[in-house]
A and B are shown apart, each in its own frame.
Chain A
Amino acid sequence: AQSVTQLDSQVPVFEEAPVELRCNYSSSVSVYLFWYVQYPNQGLQLLLKYLSGSTLVESINGFEAEFNKSQTSFHLRKPSVHISDTAEYFCAVIPLRTGRRALTFGSGTRLQVQP
């Protein structure tokens, strides 16, 4: 089985400041890793994913995440946030080849960007 831990339930930050949202996972098998974002009153949408290859992956709106296998982490970062980044962010994993092939989500981190 897999589990995902997002240590911070809320992260307040000022506009144009950098931010890091932390994600750690536990799994007995290799996994794919994801960040999903949920804007207010909307469903979740995929922000970025790590399947293989370069451990640093980027999204189209400036977020990046780095897969660290030794630390079983997949932290999400952005060097300069905007008001429009205010949302809830979910880290998720899915096993590569075995086990239940459904996403397991963390508890979410609410990013609050203040002017």
Chain B
Amino acid sequence: DSGVTQTPKHLITATGQRVTLRCSPRSGDLSVYWYQQSLDQGLQFLIQYYNGEERAKGNILERFSAQQFPDLHSELNLSSLELGDSALYFCASSVGQGASGELFFGEGSRLTVL
């Protein structure tokens, strides 16, 4: 158990809909990262937050947004969903800003868009 909690574990929805994925980092970790894992694109970094502020941005679509709240949990919002958004979405956390590269991953939220 990494200590990172993600909900929901599975989500099935339709194209055009909007979903929210939630992540609680390990106790004491200030950074939260979101990654998308799909068969065709592998593990893609989406975005990082550190202590409530956006720290780094990767290949995140404009239809996607995220935030980190004062209690340090984070939410990833996916809107106007398309079939290609079907993937496993991982949240990870780290103590600092991630300079050491050691991240702790949750078990992921599997999104299926029909």
Contacts of B43 in A (CB 8 A): 44, 90, 105, 107-108
Closest to B6 in A: A43
**Interface contact B101-A43, CB-CB below 8 Å:** no
Q: How many chain B residues touch the partner (CB < 8 A)?
A: 25
* Assembly CA distance A105 to B55 (angstroms): 19
A44-76 contact mask (Cβ, 8 Å, vs B): 1 or 0: 111001010000000000000000000000000
User: Does A32 lie at the interface of the complex (its beta carbon under 8 Å from any beta carbon of B)?
Assistant: yes
Query: Knowing A101-B56, A108-B43 touch, does A46 contact B102 (C-beta < 8 A)?
Result: yes
Name A102's contact: one of B2, B56, B102 (CB within 8 Å).
B56
User: Does A104 lie at the interface of the complex (its beta carbon under 8 Å from any beta carbon of B)?
Assistant: yes
Q: How many chain A residues touch the partner (CB < 8 A)?
A: 22
User: Does A41 lie at the interface of the complex (its beta carbon under 8 Å from any beta carbon of B)?
Assistant: yes
* Assembly CA distance A34 to B48 (angstroms): 19
Chain A interface residues (CB < 8 Å from chain B): 32, 34, 41-46, 49, 51, 90, 92, 94, 100-108
Task: Show 19 residue pairs from A and B whose CB-CB distance is below 8 angstroms, ordered by the A residue.
Answer: A32-B100, A32-B101, A41-B107, A43-B108, A44-B90, A45-B2, A46-B102, A46-B103, A49-B100, A94-B98, A100-B56, A101-B97, A101-B99, A102-B48, A102-B98, A104-B45, A105-B45, A107-B42, A107-B43
